[in-house]
C-alpha cells in the first residue's frame, strides 16, 4: 500500500560532522539522512559510525524520519554500519549500489538478525535501495518488490552516469533511468526519489530539475544543502486553485459516504476514487508546506 | 578493555572534542579541558567517567579537549579513541549505548 508519509526532501548529512549531526533537525526536512558512505573518508569510517549511532538516539530526532546510508555490505565497513544504524534506532537503512533484488534480501536478512539480537521489534527497521548502475535500473522492478520493508527506491546519478559512460548534463542522460525507477516504485507502491542537484549556486537549474521530477511523479529528491529544502517544498506545494478543487472533491467524497452513496459526484460529474485519493494527497502536502508562493 | 597503543579521535572544531588515549601501567589518569568548563565541566567529567567505566578502562592516560561538544559526541569520540587504541576482540554494542 502506498505510504501517506511525505518524503519530498531527504537531507544528506556527513556522518563525520558532529556539529551538523546535532543541529540538522532545525531545518525540518521530511527525512534526514546520515551518510556513512561517500561523505566519510576511509580513515574516519569508524568514528563517523559511532557519531551516527549516538546522534540517532538524540531526543530531537524522535519526530523526524532518520535514514542511514551505510557502506555496501560487501565492504568491511558495511556490516558494522548496519549494526550501528539498526541498534541506534534508525527508521530507514539506505543501501547504496543496489544492483539486484538479492542485494535487498541480503540486507533484510542481516537486519532481522540484528533486530533479534538487540531486542528491537522485528520489522521495525525500514529499507530503501539506491540504484546507481545500469544493472540496477534494468532490475529496478525486482529490486522495488524485494522486501515489504522497502519504503522507496532512489536514483543516484553520479555513479549511474559513469556506469553509462556519460556525464551529468541537462537531464537527457537520466531520462530512461528516471522513468524506469519511477515505474518500478509505482509497481511496488513505494516512494521514488530523484538524484541530488550539486550546484548550490544554480537556483534556477535546481528549480527546473525539481519541476521536471515533480511532473514525472517523483515523491521527492535527495538534497545536499539545507538551502534547497524550502525551495523544494515550495515547488511541491499545490497552487491555491489546486487546494480549492481538492477541498471540494474531499467534501463531496465525505458527503457521499455519509449519504451511503457508492458514487461521488461534483458539479454533476462523477469523481473516481483515484481523484479523491489525489485530492487527499494535495491537502496533506498543503497542510505540510502551505500553498505555492 | 586495555589501552595498548596511542590513539586519538575527534577534532578541535566547534561542537567537537579531541580525545587522546595512551597506555600506562599506573592507574587511570583523565585530563579534561573544555571551553565551557565553568558551565558544563562537571557534566562533561560525568559523561567521560561513565563512558570509560562502561568500556572497563581502568588504566592508561585519557586526555579530553572539548570544544562545546554534546554528550553524545563526547561518548562517540571517547569510544572511537579507546577502540582504536585498545585490544578489542569483537565489538560488544551493549557497552557503547
Domains of chain B, residue spans: 7-85
DSSP label of B3: B
Which tens digits make up the pLDDT trace of B66-92? 999 999 999 999 999 999 999 777 778
Residues 6+ apart with CB under 8 A from A17: none
Burial A13-49 (b: 16+ CB within 10 A, else e): bbbbbbbbbbebbebbbbbbbbbbbebbeeebbbbbb
The answer to whether A52 touches A85, Cβ cutoff 8 Å, is yes
| Distance to chain A for B48, nearest Cα, Å | 15
Inter-chain CB proximity B91 and A80 less than 8 Å: yes
Rounded Cα distance between A93 and A236, Å, is 25
pLDDT of the residue at A118: 95
Half-sphere exposure of A187 (CA within 13 A, CB side): 15
Name residues of chain B where pLDDT drops below 70.
none
Range of the domain at A262: 240-289
DSSP per-residue string spanning chain A: ----S--SEEEEEETT-HHHHHHGGGG--SEEEEE-STTS-GGGHHHHHHHHHHHTTSGGGTTSEEEEEPPPTTSSSHHHHHHHHHHHT-SEEEESS--SHHHHHHHHHHHHHHHHHHTPPTT-SEEEEEE-SHHHHHTHHHHHTS-TTEEEEEE-HHHHHHHTT----SSGGGHHHHHHHHHHHHHHT-EEEEPP---TT-HHHHHHHHHHHHHHT--EEEESSTHHHHHHHHHHSPPHHHHHHHHHHHHHHHHHHHTT-SSEEETTEEE-HHHHHHHHHHHHHHHHH-S--
Inter-chain CB proximity B77 and A47 less than 8 Å: yes
Are A232 and A245 found together in one domain? no
In a domain, A80, yes or no: yes
Are A244 and A118 found together in one domain? no
B65 touches chain A (CB under 8 A): no
In a domain, A1, yes or no: no
The CATH number of residue A153's host domain is 3.20.20.60
B7-85: CATH topology: Ribosomal Protein S5; domain 2 (3.30.230)
In a domain, A3, yes or no: no
Report B:71-90 residues touching A (Cβ under 8 A): 72-73, 75-77, 79-80, 83-84
The answer to whether A233 touches A8, Cβ cutoff 8 Å, is yes
pLDDT of the residue at A2: 61
Are A144 and A245 found together in one domain? no
Which residue in the set A18, A87, A118 is minimally distant from B69, CB to CB?
A18
- Interface list for chain A against chain B, based on CB atoms closer than 8 Å: 18-19, 21-23, 46-47, 50-51, 53-55, 57-58, 80, 83-84, 87, 118
Are A277 and A166 found together in one domain? no
| Distance to chain B for A126, nearest Cα, Å | 21
Last residue of a domain, one of A212, A236, A260: A236
Inter-chain CB proximity B93 and A46 less than 8 Å: no
B91 touches chain A (CB under 8 A): yes
Last residue of a domain, one of A236, A255, A279: A236
Inter-chain CB proximity B10 and A47 less than 8 Å: yes
Are A269 and A213 found together in one domain? no
Residue matched to cell numbers 523544494: A232
- Closest-approach residue (CA) in chain A for B19: A47
Q: What residues of chain A lie within 8 A of the CB of B85, using their CB?
A: none
State the best of B55, B80, B81 to mutate against chain A, taking most chain A CBs within 10 Å: B80
Residues 6+ apart with CB under 8 A from A109: none
- Closest-approach residue (CA) in chain A for B81: A47
In a domain, A92, yes or no: yes
What is the β-pairing status of strands B29-34 and B59-66? parallel
pLDDT of the residue at A264: 85
Are A20 and A125 found together in one domain? yes
Rounded Cα distance between A154 and A79, Å, is 21
Are A228 and A250 found together in one domain? no
| Distance to chain B for A90, nearest Cα, Å | 14
Name residues of chain A where pLDDT drops below 70.
1-3
pLDDT of the residue at A1: 52
Are A79 and A121 found together in one domain? yes
Last residue of a domain, one of A199, A217, A236: A236
B67 touches chain A (CB under 8 A): no
Inter-chain CB proximity B72 and A46 less than 8 Å: no
Q: How many domains does chain A have?
A: 2
Amino acid at each position: 500500500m502506498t505510504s501517506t508519509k511525505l518524503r519530498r526532501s531527504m537531507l544528506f548529512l556527513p556522518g563525520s560532522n558532529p556539529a551538523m549531526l546535532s543541529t540538522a533537525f532545525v531545518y525540518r526536512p521530511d527525512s534526514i539522512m546520515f551518510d556513512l558512505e561517500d561523505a566519510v573518508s576511509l580513515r574516519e569510517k569508524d568514528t563517523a559510525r559511532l557519531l551516527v549511532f549516538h546522534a540517532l538516539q538524540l531526543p530531537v530526532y524522535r519526530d523526524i524520519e532518520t535514514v542511514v546510508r551505510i557502506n555496501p555490505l560487501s565492504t568491511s565497513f558495511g556490516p558494522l554500519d548496519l549494526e550501528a544504524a539498526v541498534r541506534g534506532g534508525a527508521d530507514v537503512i539506505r543501501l547504496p549500489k543496489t544492483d539486484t533484488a538479492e542485494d535487498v534480501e541480503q540486507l533484510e536478512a542481516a537486519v532481522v538478525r540484528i533486530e533479534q539480537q538487540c531486542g528491537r521489534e522485528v520489522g521495525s527497521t525500514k529499507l530503501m535501495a539506491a540504484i546507481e548502475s545500469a544493472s540496477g535500473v534494468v532490475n529496478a522492478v525486482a529490486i522495488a518488490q524485494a522486501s515489504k520493508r522497502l519504503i522507496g527506491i532512489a536514483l543516484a546519478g553520479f555513479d549511474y552516469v559513469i556506469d553509462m559512460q556519460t556525464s551529468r548534463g541537462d537531464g537527457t542522460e537520466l531520462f530512461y533511468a528516471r522513468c524506469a525507477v519511477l515505474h518500478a516504485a509505482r509497481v511496488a507502491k513505494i516512494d521514488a526519489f530523484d538524484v541530488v542537484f550539486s550546484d548550490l549556486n544554480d537556483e534556477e537549474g535546481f528549480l527546473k530539475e525539481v519541476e521536471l521530477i515533480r511532473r514525472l511523479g517523483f515523491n521527492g529528491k535527495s538534497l545536499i544543502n539545507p538551502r534547497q529544502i524550502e525551495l523544494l517544498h515550495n515547488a511541491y506545494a499545490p497552487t491555491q486553485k489546486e487546494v480549492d478543487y481538492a477541498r471540494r472533491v474531499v467534501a463531496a467524497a465525505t458527503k457521499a459516504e455519509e449519504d451511503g452513496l457508492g458514487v461521488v459526484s461534483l458539479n454533476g460529474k462523477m469523481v473516481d476514487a483515484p481523484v479523491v485519493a489525489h485530492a487527499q494527497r494535495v491537502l496533506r502536502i498543503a497542510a505540510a508546506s502551505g500553498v505555492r508562493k | 578493555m586495555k589501552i595498548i597503543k596511542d590513539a586519538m579521535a575527534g577534532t578541535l572544531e566547534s561542537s567537537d572534542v579531541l580525545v587522546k588515549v595512551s597506555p600506562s601501567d599506573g592507574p587511570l589518569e583523565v585530563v579534561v579541558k573544555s571551553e565551557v568548563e565553568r558551565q558544563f565541566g562537571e557534566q562533561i567529567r560525568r559523561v567521560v567517567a561513565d563512558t570509560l567505566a562502561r568500556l572497563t578502562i581502568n588504566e592508561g592516560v585519557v586526555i579530553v579537549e572539548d570544544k562545546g561538544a554534546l554528550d553524545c559526541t563526547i561518548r562517540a569520540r571517547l569510544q572511537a579513541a579507546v577502540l582504536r587504541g585498545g585490544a578489542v576482540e569483537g565489538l560488544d554494542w551493549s557497552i557503547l549505548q
